[in-house]
Amino acid sequence: AEPNVFAEGEYWLGIIRASYPLYKGGALLGRDVASEGEAQAKLKFSTAKWEEKKVYISNILAKGYIEALQSKNKAEIYNEIVEKRQKQLDIIQRKRETRTVTESEILALKYALAKGNEGYKKNKLAYESAIREIVDVAGFEPGTEIELVSLGDEIPYVMKRDKLVEFALTNRAEISAQHASVDIAQSQIDGLQGALYPEVNLELTSSYASGAIDDDISRFTLLSLNASYEFGFQNHTSKNLSAARSIKTYEEQKLSLIKSEIRREALAAYDGLLNSIETVNVAETEVKRMQYEVRVSNEKYKGGFLSIGEVIDKENDLLSAELSLVESRYDRWRFFADLQKSVGHPFSQTKVSATRK
């Protein structure tokens, strides 16, 4: 099923496109006459705002998608540790009958089991909440089942820093929309100038007098001067023109600010992505180290050199390392989603399969 998240944007754009002939013809819903240039600029503005909205909604969906996958992954890790600790508890309770374990060891394992169940339930609820958000934002009907596809371990290729900023300033819909706002302001200035300073068209035509007039006069060229004036609307005054020029200056300043903000967003997302990649590498190394320590602690426990509580401590360290790795991996995808948004691209890696219950 296709999301209808852009239905509103499509409707809005459809209205603007339907209105274009009215702009071109001279009026829209009783408003002042608009030039063809102004109509084209308004259509460009509306189209750009629609594209901007698509990228914005895509980013929201991507964040919900990433949150759902992360919570699901964490819940799976907790579920594995719960199953492992339940087996440990069963074993240790059987040993209790032979009095080879202490009560404190049993309590420590039960506590660890309870914490594992708590973590599982917490992340399961977070997953369900993220799914509901996807359904809501995407415009699916309540009760729609969502199947998430794994994002994978590798992010797509990212262009170099300087090229990225250049691409963002060229591709972002906000830039196009603001350029259109400047064009709209300029077209309004042009219309007001035309009203205040009407064009005078001079046409020189010549004709020869009839034979009844003196020969000298017959050779005299008669000039007829035709002047036509285009006055515009009566309410177009110099005050209106001054205000229109101020609006254009404001729109140009706003364009400069938007460019600065886009540059800042693109660089922040790019740097965040690079840092998150490094964080993933560190987290992967830490997980491997803790996996080794857990294996060693289990061997020592079997040999009677460690208590079950000390083994649980090592397993908790491994659990924390695994959860940190999951978070860093999905943080990396979040930064990539922000990077896509910063250059004006929807998050194309999101694949949602939706079916009605």
Average pLDDT of the segment spanning 281-301: 94
How confident is the model at residue 122, as a pLDDT? 95
- Other beta carbons less than 10 A from residue 260's beta carbon: 10
Question: Per residue in 141-162, pLDDT tens?
Answer: 777 777 777 787 778 777 888 8
Q: What Å distances lie between residue 238 and 57, 185, 193, 234, 297, CA to CA?
A: 43, 15, 9, 11, 86
Question: What's the pTM value of the predicted model, to 2 decimals?
Answer: 0.73
Average pLDDT of the segment spanning 171-198: 83
281's CB contacts (< 8 A; 6+ apart) are none
25's CB contacts (< 8 A; 6+ apart) are none
The residue behind tokens 């190394």 is: 285
Whether 72 has a pLDDT exceeding 90, the answer reads yes
How confident is the model at residue 324, as a pLDDT? 95
Note whether 342 and 265 are within 8 A (CB). yes
Residue predicted with more confidence, 253 or 27: 253
276: exposed, middle or buried (Cβ count in 10 Å: 0-12, 13-18, 19+): buried
Question: Per residue in 81-114, pLDDT tens?
Answer: 999 989 888 887 777 666 666 778 888 889 999 9
- Please give the torsion angle defined by the CA atoms of residues 55, 58, 59 and 60, in that order, rounded to the nearest 10 degrees: 130
Q: Measured between alpha carbons, how far is 270 from 267 in angstroms, rounded to an integer?
A: 5
Q: Measured between alpha carbons, how far is 344 from 170 in angstroms, rounded to an integer?
A: 9
Average pLDDT of the segment spanning 22-37: 50
Q: Could you tell me which of 52, 37, 42 has the C-alpha nearest to residue 16? A: 42
Q: Measured between alpha carbons, how far is 220 from 189 in angstroms, rounded to an integer?
A: 45
Question: Per residue in 335-353, pLDDT tens?
Answer: 999 999 999 988 876 555 5
Planar angle of CA 352, 335, 319, nearest 5 degrees: 85
